[in-house]
A and B are shown apart, each in its own frame.
Chain A
């Protein structure tokens, strides 16, 4: 895995924290209902991240 150094310049900390909370929320909501499958969740999170990255630009 790359060292964090190479990644640091790419990441906006505020965005990162938003992301953390958002993912947590998604997971928490799903946790109790177990409605969404793993791969569905993966896709959701991925879309979330990609959206964030898009907006960051």
Chain B
């Protein structure tokens, strides 16, 4: 951008119209405006600022020339205006700001709002006004936009600067921003912000967030199936858990039952024993009955003879004692004897008829025979009783024997019954062993079943897990395949690619800017200043002076003059940089198609060359340096506009003589502070 002209009308001490046309020559690119102090040098910068940005460091009513204001009559209007004509991107812009002042009835001067108009002339020749918006909103919106496109306000301080204020130029916080802005890096930085994947609000992030499996039918089905399968898996896991618990339970049962069985093992045997005992008892009982019967029978049968014994003893004594023991002829019967008598002769042959004595004896014999003679009977009885005696022998032994047998059986029975009782007692407290065994078997079966079930469940789980895996895989591949995602993925790819490219470009540019700036500044500094000093630039583009002492660099305090030179160098460096960049980038811009991509796919930033408008640039600079600075300035800037005091000019004149395109002189009219003129020289 270069400035063509500035026209002041009633602006501060410039009463009436004053126009400065700046040199637009490429070689003689310096315009010098000389003036003595307080003549209005500073005013020119102020004029620029006021016109473009409505920026002023003075009070509103001081915009308009004092004399003009004074001359205001009631209800009359006077205007103040500044018009800047500049050329930007091959277009000529006419920027005019006007403000009216009125004196009202009360005699008070009122200022209107300043009104700005911007027109531009196309290279074709036609003039266009930048439209104003309807009232209500910011009417001058488009105008402001345009002006900011041409020269952003933030950069204006660098290119329109006040020498008096040069000292704090470099220390301001927005140097970074300014440099970035100058280099066009701000734009890139913004672009990056929009695309940065690490930022949640970026395009990339937003696109990524929307990357899911979408709403396609198949996806829905897979999703549903997956949900089902996951629920199924949960169910299986629960079943597995339950089955495991049940198995544990059955195993514990098994242990308990086994213990019971073991404890009751003897119960089974006891049962057997009991049965055996019962059998034995039955037999023995029968035996006892037999023994009883035998004893009874033997007793009953032979008791008589036994109990007769004492009587027999006595009886035998009685029998023996009795004389009537004469014995008849054994076996002789009375009838036999009667027969003998009847036959008449005896056994011996004696004739009994004749022998009366013999007959008497035979008859006597008959009396001895039963039933006549007891002797016989007695004798028989004696024998019988003796027989009884004999037969009674051994009775007690038999009884003893029988009884012993009986007794043994009784004893045995007792034993068996005791044993039975004991066993019964043992058995009684115990559980039904058979039942335990049944329970045990059942438990074994249950345990087996559960184990088999668990195996099945595990395989179900495995199956479901693989189902889930397969579904997830399908969904995943679907994610890639789904059209929407494809597009999203592609969009993300683009977004990322642009981001990366911008980032690389940005970093590179920034590096280059720093390097270049450093180099420029040092070059310029070196040229401006002889001495063993150097400058360094930090991240914030702040310049520090360092002195080389030997090979070591130490930072040094700076004198004001040095400060000025330093800052000067910085500005010059900036301007130079801008110009360099502008030259390399200028070819690539046309209104519609901007190309920021270089031959090697590198990011090209383009920037504009800016004029350097300096007010009292040498006020704090040593004479020596003035010369140096003066020489450099035209090299670095496209267009240089110097506003300075005559005395300062003397030193710079030599260096700049050949560069001067035009010169002006600001004079006070009649030594008035309120009335100056600019005269071309």
**Direct touch of chains A and B (CB < 8 A):** yes
Q: Is the CB of B193 within 8 A of A38?
A: yes
Quick check: is B497 within 8 A (CB to CB) of the other chain? yes
Main secondary structure of the interface of B (DSSP, over half): helix
A-B contact number at CB 8 A = 101
Cross-interface CB contact of B145 among A7, A32, A53, cutoff 8 Å = A32
Main secondary structure of the interface of A (DSSP, over half): helix
Cross-interface CB contact of B498 among A16, A30, A31, cutoff 8 Å = A16
Q: Is the CB of B496 within 8 A of A1?
A: yes
Query: When chains A and B are docked, how far (Å) is the Cα of A38 from the Cα of B489?
Result: 23
Given contacts A10-B489, A10-B493, A45-B195, A35 and B187 within 8 Å (CB-CB): no
Given contacts A21-B593, A21-B597, A33-B149, A16 and B490 within 8 Å (CB-CB): no
Q: Is the CB of B497 within 8 A of A28?
A: no
Cross-interface CB contact of B596 among A24, A30, A38, A57, cutoff 8 Å = A24
Q: Could you give, for residues 1-22 of chain A, a 1 whenever the CB lies within 8 Å of some chain B CB and a 0 otherwise?
A: 1101001001100011101110
Cross-interface CB contact of B149 among A17, A24, A32, cutoff 8 Å = A32
Q: Is the CB of A53 within 8 A of B501?
A: no
Cross-interface CB contact of A53 among B149, B188, B487, cutoff 8 Å = B487
Quick check: is B202 within 8 A (CB to CB) of the other chain? yes
The residues in B between 123 and 149 inclusive whose CB is less than 8 angstroms from any CB of A are 144-145, 148-149
Q: Is the CB of B197 within 8 A of A1?
A: yes
**Residues on the A chain within 8 Å of B156, using CB:** none
Quick check: is B594 within 8 A (CB to CB) of the other chain? yes
Given contacts A17-B597, A21-B593, A46-B206, A31 and B186 within 8 Å (CB-CB): yes
Q: Is the CB of A24 within 8 A of B148?
A: no
Query: When chains A and B are docked, how far (Å) is the Cα of A10 from the Cα of B595?
Result: 23
Quick check: is B207 within 8 A (CB to CB) of the other chain? yes
**Residues on the B chain within 8 Å of A17, using CB:** 597
Q: Is the CB of B187 within 8 A of A31?
A: yes
Q: Is the CB of B190 within 8 A of A27?
A: yes
Q: Is the CB of A7 within 8 A of B191?
A: no
Q: Is the CB of B487 within 8 A of A54?
A: yes
Closest beta carbon of chain A to B189's beta carbon, Å: 9
Quick check: is B203 within 8 A (CB to CB) of the other chain? yes
Q: Name the residue in A15, A17, A52 with the highest tally of chain B Cβ atoms < 10 Å from its Cβ.
A: A17
Closest beta carbon of chain B to A49's beta carbon, Å: 5
Q: Name the residue in A33, A53, A54, A56 with the highest tally of chain B Cβ atoms < 10 Å from its Cβ.
A: A53
The residues in B between 492 and 529 inclusive whose CB is less than 8 angstroms from any CB of A are 492-498, 500-502
The residues in B between 43 and 80 inclusive whose CB is less than 8 angstroms from any CB of A are none
Query: When chains A and B are docked, how far (Å) is the Cα of A33 from the Cα of B206?
Result: 26
Cross-interface CB contact of A38 among B144, B201, B501, cutoff 8 Å = B201
Q: Is the CB of B497 within 8 A of A7?
A: yes
Query: When chains A and B are docked, how far (Å) is the Cα of A7 from the Cα of B491?
Result: 10
**Residues on the A chain within 8 Å of B187, using CB:** 24, 27-28, 31
Cross-interface CB contact of A42 among B202, B490, B497, cutoff 8 Å = B202
Quick check: is B373 within 8 A (CB to CB) of the other chain? no
Quick check: is B194 within 8 A (CB to CB) of the other chain? yes
The residues in B between 178 and 206 inclusive whose CB is less than 8 angstroms from any CB of A are 184, 186-188, 190-191, 193-195, 197, 201-203, 206
Identify 26 residue pairs between A and B in the complex whose beta-carbon atoms are under 8 Å apart, listed by A's number: A4-B497, A7-B492, A7-B496, A11-B497, A16-B494, A16-B497, A16-B501, A20-B502, A21-B594, A23-B191, A24-B187, A24-B188, A27-B190, A30-B190, A31-B186, A31-B190, A32-B145, A32-B148, A33-B148, A38-B194, A42-B206, A46-B207, A49-B203, A50-B491, A53-B487, A57-B487
Q: A27-B190, A49-B207, A53-B487 are in contact. List 15 more A-B contacts (CB 8 A).
A: A4-B497, A11-B494, A15-B494, A21-B597, A23-B195, A23-B498, A27-B191, A28-B184, A28-B594, A35-B145, A38-B193, A41-B194, A42-B194, A42-B202, A45-B203
Nearest 5 interchain pairs by C-beta = A33-B145, A7-B493, A32-B148, A32-B149, A10-B493
